[in-house]
Amino acid sequence: MNQKNSRLSHLSRRQIIRGVLATTAFGLTAKFGTGCSDQSETDETASEEETEPIVIGFIYVGPKDDFGYNQSHAEGAAAVAELPGVKVVEQANVPETQTVQETMREMIEIDGATMLFPTSFGYFEPHILEIAREFPEVQFFHAGGLYESGMPENVGSYFDYIDEAQYIAGIVAAHTTESGKLGFVAAKPISQVLRNINGFTLGAKSIKPDITTQVVFTGDWAAPVKEAEAVNSMVNQGIDVITCHVDSPKVVIETASKRGVYCSGYHTDQSALAPELYLTGAEWDWRSIYTQYANWVKEGKTLMNGEIPHIVRGGYQEKFWKLSPYGPAVSESAKSEAEAVKAKFADATMIIYTGELKDNQGQVILPDGKSYEQQAIELETTDWLVEGVKGSV
């Protein structure tokens, strides 16, 4: 009897373990549900052309249909795939570890890629630099990495002054808010993110000078539970327009919509997630820069011969960002104001950061009469939040 009992308890323990593991495995496989809706549209027909097509590899850190950063790059890749004489290979969900080095190597050795766009920021150092040294004939273009002299000649970086788009989103938010309180769900207190918070807040303050932006840092690029909690607590405080800078804005937009407050998107167009309450959104537009790079290479220009610049930056003038179409809640006056500023960005007469500018600790960032142009190197190392932002770095 005793033995039988102990065997039973042993079995049930094992069964529990098995259950736990099965759940884990299910969790892993369940990710599939979100990842499978969109299939890669790799162009196989390109190989039929007489000349060898240029093979371009795109690598993403997350799924290609995440309503976020990765999707914005995948949309750019899709535009490049349309070009004649170009073949695009893509790989999604590649972590920022040695795995990405192996992925680049496979794309070069097996697929014959001669241009690579590893898009996640964390791919740059050490991964891209290491592989670039090993394959000096292949060109590596990276979003956001800072190219410095001494780095391999075949590495280039590009990025986008998307805080311009956030500035306009701030204008729209200020026109829409009733409480004068805006919310910003942010991942990490790094320069890129701080710049967006500052841009959004400055845009809003240009309409209503005493407006405030409450910031919550979740600490992670993808932390859906914390993002939802942040939105909920913001709504409870009376905040009525919420935007974000996280990898996938899906949760923020959906939660805001569920709670009945306005929201403003980021990375890509999320209006489908909140058709009534979505105001506008700051979207990347990688199509033009990716097409530009592909055309340069087709013309025989390379990073190595110096005909492609190592650092490419751009704002609205260069068509590096776009705005989501205005939602139904956006008033006519907001639209005209936003469009007017957009026109100033288009002819590069608009400057976001002008003195006198104070941070939210009361320190003077820019004295009266001074200003930072978008290209200012000081902005790349932003570590302050502008006056009117509630929260600290």
Partner 1 sequence: MINRSNWRKTLEAICIPVGAVLVALIIFGIFCAVVGANPFAVYGSIYKAAFGRWSAWQRTLIQASPLLLSALCTVLPARLGLVIIGNEGALVMGGLGAIIVGLSLGESLSPLLVQIGMAMGGMLFGGVWIAIAGALRHYRAVNETISSLLLNYIAIALLNHLVEGPMRDPSSLNKPSTFPLAEINRLGDIPGTRIHYGLLYGLIACIVAYILIERTTFGFAARTAGGNIRAAQIAGLPVGKLTIIICFLAGSCAGLAGMVEVAAVHGVANESLNVGYGYGGILVAFVARHNPLATALVAVSLGGILASGGILQRSHSLPDATVLVFQGLVFLVVLYGDSLYGRFPFFQEKIDSVKKFPKKSLQ
**Contact flag: residue 7 with partner 1 (CB under 8 A):** no
Residues 198 and 385: beta-carbon distance below 8 Å: yes
Pick the binder of partner 1 from 53, 63, 170, 388 (CB under 8 A). Answer: 63
Site string for partner 1, 358-377 (x = CB under 8 A): --------------------
**Contact flag: residue 331 with partner 1 (CB under 8 A):** no
Per CB under 8 A, contacts with partner 1 among 139-168 are 144, 146
Candidate ranges 29-37, 77-85, 164-172, 207-215; the one touching partner 1 (CB under 8 A): 29-37
- Write out the chain in H/E/C secondary structure: CHHHHHHHHHHHHHHHHHHHHHHHHHHHHHHHHHHCCCCCCCCCHHHHCCCCCEEEEEECCCCCCCCCHHHHHHHHHHHHHCCCCEEEEEECCCCCCHHHHHHHHHHHHCCCCCEEEECCHHHHHHHHHHHHHHCCCCEEEEECCCCCECECCCEEEEEECCHHHHHHHHHHHHHHCCCCEEEEEECCCCHHHHHHHHHHHHHHHCCCCCCEEEEEECCCCCCHHHHHHHHHHHHHCCCCEEEEECCCCHHHHHHHHHCCCEEEEEECCCHHHCCCCEEEEEEECCHHHHHHHHHHHHCCCCCCCCCCCCEEEECCCCCCEEECCCCCCCCHHHHHHHHHHHHHHHCCCCCCEECCEEECCCCEEECCCCEECCCCHHHHCCCCCECCEECCC
Please report, for residues 77, 85, 187, 192, the alpha-carbon distance to residue 47 in angstroms, rounded to integers and kept in the order given: 17, 8, 42, 39
CB of 148 to partner 1, least distance (A): 10
CB of 319 to partner 1, least distance (A): 23
Residue closer to partner 1 by CB (options 130, 307) is 130
Number of amino acids touching partner 1 (CB under 8 A): 63
**Contact flag: residue 224 with partner 1 (CB under 8 A):** no
Candidate ranges 76-84, 117-125, 292-300, 370-378; the one touching partner 1 (CB under 8 A): 117-125
Residue closer to partner 1 by CB (options 38, 82) is 38
Residue closer to partner 1 by CB (options 180, 189) is 189
Pick the binder of partner 1 from 39, 45, 236, 349 (CB under 8 A). Answer: 39
CB of 45 to partner 1, least distance (A): 13
Q: What does the alpha-carbon distance between residue 308 and residue 103 come to, in Å, rounded to a whole number?
A: 25
CB of 368 to partner 1, least distance (A): 28
Pick the binder of partner 1 from 52, 109, 276, 373 (CB under 8 A). Answer: 109
Closest to 256 in 3D by CA, of 323, 176, 196, 166:
176
Candidate ranges 83-91, 196-204, 303-311, 322-330; the one touching partner 1 (CB under 8 A): 83-91
Pick the binder of partner 1 from 46, 64, 279, 286 (CB under 8 A). Answer: 64
**Contact flag: residue 219 with partner 1 (CB under 8 A):** yes
Residue closer to partner 1 by CB (options 92, 169) is 92
What is the dihedral sign for C-alpha 297, 302, 308, 309? positive
Q: Residue holding tokens 């087709």?
A: 298
**Contact flag: residue 107 with partner 1 (CB under 8 A):** yes
Residue closer to partner 1 by CB (options 127, 287) is 127
**Contact flag: residue 272 with partner 1 (CB under 8 A):** no
Candidate ranges 123-131, 196-204, 208-216, 265-273; the one touching partner 1 (CB under 8 A): 123-131
Pick the binder of partner 1 from 191, 333, 363, 392 (CB under 8 A). Answer: 191
**Contact flag: residue 24 with partner 1 (CB under 8 A):** yes
CB of 198 to partner 1, least distance (A): 15
Neighbours of 303 (CB within 10 A): 23
Residues 290 and 77: beta-carbon distance below 8 Å: yes
CB of 252 to partner 1, least distance (A): 20
Q: What does the alpha-carbon distance between residue 215 and residue 218 come to, in Å, rounded to a whole number?
A: 10
Residue closer to partner 1 by CB (options 95, 136) is 95
Where does this chain bind partner 1 (CB under 8 A)?
1-4, 14-15, 17-18, 20-22, 24-26, 28-29, 31-32, 34-36, 38-42, 63-64, 89-99, 102-103, 105-107, 109-111, 121-122, 124-126, 144, 146, 188-192, 219-220, 380-381
